[in-house]
Structures are given as C-alpha cells and as structure tokens.
Chain A
Amino acid sequence: MRVRIAAADAVLRVSGALWLEGERALVVADVHFEKGSAYAARGQLLPPYDTRDNLRRLAAEAQALRPRMIVMLGDAFHDEAAEQRLDPDDFAALCVLASGRTMVWVTGNHDPAPPARPARRRGGTELDLGGLVLRHEPSAGAAAGEAAGHLHPCARIKAGGRSVRRRCFVTDGERLVLPAFGAYAGGLNIRDAAFAGLFARPPPLAVALGPPPAHPIGWRSVAGD
C-alpha cells in the first residue's frame, strides 16, 4: 500500500517491510534473529527455525523488489551473542541476501553493535534516507518524517461483532511505526499507552497485515486487548 510519510513516498508491504522505491531500499524492523535459540538456552525450548523462517521471508521480498540496500531497523539479532549462534546454512542464506547490495544495520536495544559479517555493511543509530529518518526506537513527542520499529505494533480490529488481531503498521502521515518482522516476535496493541503521544495528529491509521492485500484500518475500528 502506498502512503506518504511527511515528504516521502513509501510502500507498506503486506510482509511488514517498508519499501522506499526512490532509494530502492527495503526496510525491516525487529527481526530478532536467533530468538528461538536464546530462549532455548534459558530452558524454554522453542523450535530453532525462526531465523530460517525470517531469512526465507526476507529473501522473498528481496527477490520481488531487487533492493539496492536492505536496512535492518534495529533488533535484527536478538542478543549480542546471537551472531555466533547462527547456523552455517542460515549464515550462508544471509550472505546470499547481502550479496550485491548494501546491508545497513541500524542498532537497536537488543543489538547495540552491528554484526561483524557479512561484509559491505554499514551501522549506526540512525539513517537519513529518501526524506525519512530511520531509527530503531521512536523518539518521544511528534517527529515528522521518522520511521521506527521497536514497539511491535499489533491491532485488534473490530467489525460486524467480531474481532481479528494482526500485526500492523501505524502512521498519521507524519511518522511511521513498522511491525516486527521476526517470526517469534510478539505484539503490542496500538491502543497501549506506549503509542500515546507519538501521533500528534489524530487519528492515526493502522495498516493490518495478513494474507494479501494489506488493509488500511481507521482508529475507530481498533480496540484494546
């Protein structure tokens, strides 16, 4: 779905990725590679296929869009040791994904430093791109032209006496919060207090994900949990 964020044109993909066509940049937030293995180390034995699944969906997006640059908008790795836990096959898939393009690792609270590999990469806490400022954690108050992740937005959409919960983008036309891309990432309801104050110009719009297409949803149709 095409939207305008401040002065920038953006495409909100039903996969949860942000596509900046002018820059040929694919942006994904909160992938949390190796979250499964992080939990397994603490005794909660989640099946260790989340990294593989994330890479598969990322590769599908890269295949469809042929981006020049892939921006990981923070929390790409679940923890600082996650990079070492990558399965060789998964690492190879990551290298294929990175080949011929620039990987930008915007740092997040889970991954304060960009990974050592693969090569041809950039790191940093924020990135100016195509009229947007990309950073992991949304800054407090109004911030025109900001695209961030961190909050893992989810919407409970009510209509016709039934409700459905989905990951979603949230935007008021000035700033954008991306959904988490990671297979094991949880969600925070966009009616939560953490979202209050971010959007100066009510009402924000949620773009619900799921089987294509993405659906724009008005603030009146979203409920708390």
Chain B
Amino acid sequence: MASDYALAIWAARPMGGLDIDELFSQDMLGDDLEAWVEESVMMKRAFKNCALVSGLIERRFPGQEKSGRQVTFSSDLIYDVLRRHQPDHLLLRCARADMATGLLDVARLGQMLQRIRGRIRHMDLPKVTPFSVPILLTIGRESVPGGAQEEVLETAEAELIAQAMA
C-alpha cells in the first residue's frame, strides 16, 4: 500500500532477516515484473473492470436475486483462458493499458529505485509512528498472491494432521 509519503508492505511472517536494498533493487524491473504483473490481483481487477464496461460480465449486488438462467462468471476464469489462447485480445490490451497508466508507471518507479538506492535506513521501531497511521489503517486492502495462498492451504493441512495425531 502506498500514499504520497509512505509505502507499507506487510507479510504473514516476520521480515527481520530481509535485505532491504535487495528488495528495492532495480533488477526487479525486468521480465520478472512483467510476469508478476500478469498474475497479479491488480491486473485481474483491471481486467474485471474492462470486462464489466464491455458488458462481458455483469456486476452482482448483495441481495440481488439470480434470475432464471443468468449466471455470473468469474472474470478470473475468463482472464486465465484468454491470456493463454488470445493474449492480444482487446480486453487484455485495455487492462494492460489501465494498469500501465493508472497503477504502475514503470519509468517513474525506475527513477525512484535509482534515487533511493543505498539510502535506505532500516530501523525497527518500538511503536507505530504518527505519519504511518493513515497507511496502517489500510492493511489488508491489497494482497499479493505469492506463496501466501498456498500457505493458507499448508496451514490448514498441518492443522488436519495435528488433529489426526491428537
């Protein structure tokens, strides 16, 4: 999550051993970024918005009755199929364009990474600082599906094994 003044990253596990300079290395702007963006929640959301605007899927509202044969489609399913079979599809191009202008300006990101390189000071703070409060309130708003989803499954699996052994 980011505001004009702060960037917050949170994780399921403590990040004590992390090399902060490595995390903000410019190397990440290569092919990895493109691959990651294609899989990201933000990209899928951008695609969903495009799919809604185009009329491909309909938005559902809480409490709305399903009428007859109307079925809502998960735009994620469509996204995955389209990406494999027609990667240059208009809606995919729209979604990428939305991402590139609205959410991810790679050129500026590159400049920033260059600018802050070697100047990052890492401090463990005993408490929340005043300027971080607004951004801390947004915790959980965005998620990055890396290993986290699989970790949920692994945790649940471990709980099952623990129950079986008990």
How many Cβ-Cβ contacts under 8 Å join chain A to chain B? 82
In the assembly, what is the distance between CA of A46 and CA of B80, in Å?
A: 12
Q: Which residues of A contact B82 (CB under 8 A)?
A: 47, 49
Give the distance to chain B from A163, nearest Cβ to Cβ, in Å. Answer: 7
Could you tell me if A47 and B152 are in contact, using CB atoms closer than 8 angstroms?
no
Does B81 count as interface, using CB distance less than 8 angstroms? Answer: yes
Known A-B contacts A159-B156, A215-B154, A218-B163; A164 and B77 likewise in contact (beta carbons under 8 Å): no
Q: Chain B interface mostly helix, strand, loop or mixed?
A: helix
As a 0/1 sequence over residues 14 to 35 of chain B, the CB contacts with chain A under 8 angstroms (1 = contact) are 0000000000000000000000
Q: Chain A interface mostly helix, strand, loop or mixed?
A: mixed
Could you tell me if A183 and B149 are in contact, using CB atoms closer than 8 angstroms?
no
Could you tell me if B86 and A220 are in contact, using CB atoms closer than 8 angstroms?
no
Does B85 count as interface, using CB distance less than 8 angstroms? Answer: yes
As a 0/1 sequence over residues 70 to 85 of chain B, the CB contacts with chain A under 8 angstroms (1 = contact) are 0101100110111011
Could you tell me if B163 and A160 are in contact, using CB atoms closer than 8 angstroms?
no
As a 0/1 sequence over residues 81 to 119 of chain B, the CB contacts with chain A under 8 angstroms (1 = contact) are 110111001000000000000000000000000000000
Q: Which residues of B contact A164 (CB under 8 A)?
A: 149, 152-153
Could you tell me if B71 and A186 are in contact, using CB atoms closer than 8 angstroms?
yes
Q: Which chain A residue lies CB-closest to B149?
A: A164
B interface list, Cβ under 8 A from A: 12, 56-57, 69, 71, 73-74, 77-78, 80-82, 84-86, 89, 148-157, 159-160, 163
Q: Can you list 8 pairs linking A and B with CB atoms under 8 Å apart? A: A44-B73, A47-B81, A159-B153, A164-B153, A183-B81, A215-B154, A215-B156, A217-B157
**Lowest 9 A-B CB distances belong to which pairs?**
A49-B85, A159-B155, A218-B160, A221-B156, A215-B153, A159-B156, A164-B152, A215-B157, A164-B149
A interface list, Cβ under 8 A from B: 42, 44-47, 49-50, 52-53, 157-160, 162-164, 166, 183-184, 186, 205, 208, 210-211, 215-218, 220-221
